[in-house]
Amino acid sequence: MEKSLPSAYDPKNVEGKWYRFWEEGKYFRATVEPQKKPFCIVMPPPNVTGELHMGHALDNTLQDVLIRWRRMQGYAALWLPGTDHAGIATQARVEAMLAKEGLTRFDLGRERFLERVWAWKEKYGNVITTQLRRLGASCDWDRERFTMDQGCSEAVKEVFLRLYERGLIYRDYYIVNWCPHCRTVISDIEVEHKETAGHLYYIKYPAKDGTGFVVIATTRPETMLGDTAVAVHPEDERYRHLIGKTLVLPLVGREIPVIADDYVDMEFGTGALKVTPAHDPNDFEIGRRHNLPSVKVIGADARMTAEAGARYQGLDRWECRKLVVEDLKREGLLLKVEDLTHAVGHCYRCDTVIEPMVSRQWFVRMKPLAEPAIAAARDGRVRFIPERFTKIYLNWLENIRDWCISRQLWWGHRIPVWHCPDCGASTASRQEVKRCPHCGSARVEQDPDVLDTWFSSALWPFSTLGWPQKTADLAYFYPTSVLVTGRDIIFFWVARMIFMGLAFMGEVPFREVFIHGLVLDALGRKMSKSLGNGVDPIEVIDSHGADSLRFMLVTGNTPGNDLRFHFEKLDGARNFINKLWNASRFVLMNLGDGVAPPEEPAAYELADRWILSRYREAVAKSTAYLEAYEVGEAARVLYDFIWDEFCDWYIELVKSRLYRGTPGERAVARSVLRKVLGGTLRLLHPFIPFVTEEIWHHLEPGAKPLIAQTWPADEPELADPAAEADMGRLIEIIRAVRHIRAEMNVPPGRRATVILVAPDAGSRLLVEQNRNYIEELVLGTVTVAVELAAKPEQAAHAVAAGVEIYLPLGGLIDFEKERARLAKELGAVARELARVEGKLGNPDFVAKAPPEVVAKERAKQAELSRKQEVLAGRLKMLG
């Protein structure tokens, strides 16, 4: 047995060594074992362009805790990793590289451009998976997938074609969210609505018959060039007489009708709504209801089209807005302008203001897919943790619109449809189409668009397991056990996986969805490049070690809630690991050779029975919390047990036996130390795998590595409520004596006399039988009495666990010096108390200060009053 650990724990000497050992030894490898229960997690695939950020670190740490725990419990545990091709982000990255060479993708052509993207992916695409290894992620890397690898691509094509054949995929002109910078459509849930300062422009629309005008209010005057109607509410008395009449569109001269539609809000603006079907989603629906023409005045480059008129054609949309406003002013048609703050849609990728526009795109009909996904959540086939996220999920699915799945990119899964320019027919096919099956033309061309990245990731739980092939992995591991993900992608990803799983596997893709929050900075803000408040996990691992980062993230986690990153908490996690390391060093140095457990339980002392009972409770509680996905609470239980009960109490209580006990007493102490430390390392391993594996190697060098050990089972025979109660009372007494020593400034190395008065026979027997524990931990000589004829003079006094405690101070402290110190401290407290009471006695302060400030001052007053009373009592006791 290697009995010694280095004096200080250095993660740099440990983490890389053990990760290589685990990976090379295939300890992460999952196999299909029918006699075992499967447990499977599919990793939310990070973008191939990405680098590890704190959100990834939290998400993957939680997954790793669960997978290591289930693996130790004997499950066939598979954590399936992979990366996403990230269509928009990856293409943008490669195009930026081309720009440095003075090239565009069009200079290369589609085929050569894609060759460059694949080369980029091979060179840079493994950055984040390398970083996940630094974190300790115990994924089955032999099964690593990529959303555009051959198997996933086959699955994507098959799903598209089956949906197409069922009539659930169609192509049509529809209003979409267009990003002029990324030059592609983005979905509704990829639009971030930001409160933006703008203006509300009131514009006069003259009646054709010259009888007056209608005033409309708009935030986007440049779109008026595409207006094809003005709508009013059918019950609005102000405009009822105008319904059916004709207006003349300012600056353009086009005649447009006044129509009645229930959508119009009579309270907003003037109650009259300009209708631009080509550039507003609500106007688009109005246009469909009233068969209005659609005039597209803003192009894909966010510049005005020929339809906008020669004066405005080619202008940027913002330049056009200024010119339109100037022209309206000149013609006397701009009534007024008001400041307005309103929500403006931005692209979540590049932060460009999106442009709603009519475009011909591919869509998935969502209602037939959404209904089974709604039912699965309602009947409990899929469960959200915390449960409140079920409502959010259901609300989105119940109000879902058809999903626009086409993107105007080259990098991605190309839509498997070929169009014939000669006969106009379209053909969806699993194989390349070289001739039009309708007219025989050889001029067929494949659709240029690719599928939304989220389309391929929606298939992730079954495409990664081999679908559409009937693989052993698919049969065994699907449905997966739990999805661990952030609350911010419930719509992007979670819901889509559920309806795709039901549609193609006939079963939900996972039984439970464990939602965690976001990692915020110390001020509660989202981490972002623009704020410069991000924290690099790799830098943290370099400075503190992966285990410290993992433990800090886990202990601060409650399901569904956001987590603030504090470096003080990170230091606290590192201190905990150092505490475990030092305690383990102590145990290893004192194990000796006689470590066999005693034959008779009676050989155990009270402290032994107490720590074994507390250990059994730690096993039970941490296991129960993990079962409930309360990962943070499980970690807290172990933290409290190890730091407080094992390190600060049991190890201190056992030292006298290790140093001065009989061989039999030492054997008992050593066996308990070994059992509890070994069990504790197994409990901690999922949370802090590196340091626990290193300590285990020294504790049990001939055994299987810790990663392959079993999770501690419940041992009911260890439960000892009586020992816990008795030790609890002794700890209370010891703490009280220690408190007196600290408060009275008794020098740490000076031995004291402690008088314990215990009228109750049970209490008296407890302190008499365990006098050695008290004397060892308070550095004193203990006298036990039923009662005292007279209270000791100049003795500090306390009551704990029904026992009166006296600590005579004669010979322990310098009374004169202590009186002077206390008097000085009492004077300072009195002055501060007077200042606070003066502030609270000021009616203006109480009336005008914020309530939380007043409450803080009142709390300070109460604390100072208590302190003043305590100090005065001590001075009196000292004479």
Q: Report how far apart, in Å, the C-alpha atoms of 371 and of each of 103, 457, 508 are.
A: 47, 20, 13
Q: Helix H segments across 40-181?
A: 54-72, 87-100, 105-108, 110-124, 127-135, 150-165
DSSP type of residue 242: G
DSSP 590-626: H--S--PPPSSGGG--HHHHHHHHHHHHHHHHHHHHH
Structure tokens of 373? Answer: 């996904």
Q: Per DSSP, which regions of 207-327 are E strands?
A: 213-218, 229-232, 246-248, 255-260, 272-275
Contact (Cβ atoms closer than 8 angstroms) between residue 679 and residue 620: no
Biggest alpha carbon distance in the chain? 117
Structure tokens of 336? Answer: 């007024």
Amino acid found at 579: K
In this structure, how many other beta carbons lie within 10 angstroms of the beta carbon of residue 166? 12
Structure tokens of 496? Answer: 């889509």
Go through the chain and tell me how many residues it has: 879
Tell the burial category of 442 from Cβ atoms under 10 Å away from its Cβ (0-12, 13-18, 19+).
Answer: exposed
From the list 820, 809, 699, 695, the residue with the least C-alpha distance to 754 is 809
Q: Give bridge partners of residue 783 from the DSSP assignment.
A: 755
Structure tokens of 468? Answer: 């559409």
Measured between alpha carbons, how far is 664 from 592 in angstroms, rounded to an integer?
13
Q: Report the half-sphere exposure of 648 (CA within 13 A, side-chain side).
A: 11
Structure tokens of 620? Answer: 């039970």
DSSP type of residue 183: T
Tell me if residue 873 falls in helix, strand or coil.
helix
Q: Report the half-sphere exposure of 215 (CA within 13 A, side-chain side).
A: 15
Measured between alpha carbons, how far is 398 from 396 in angstroms, rounded to an integer?
6
DSSP type of residue 223: G
Q: 12 among the known binding-site residues?
A: no
Task: List b or e across 589-598, with b for residues whose CB sees 16 or more CB atoms inside 10 angstroms.
Answer: ebbeeeeeee
Amino acid found at 79: W
Tell the burial category of 767 from Cβ atoms under 10 Å away from its Cβ (0-12, 13-18, 19+).
Answer: buried
DSSP 452-496: -HHHHHTTHHHHTTTTTS--HHHHHHPSEEEEEEEGGGIIIIIHH
Query: Strands 334-347 and 191-206: what pairing?
Result: antiparallel
Q: Report how far apart, in Å, the C-alpha atoms of 497 and of each of 369, 443, 458, 490 are.
A: 11, 37, 4, 10
Task: List b or e across 397-428, with b for residues whose CB sees 16 or more CB atoms inside 10 angstroms.
Answer: beebebbbbbbbbbbbbbbbbbbbeeeeebbb
Tell me the binding residues: 529
Tell me the binding residues for ATP: 529
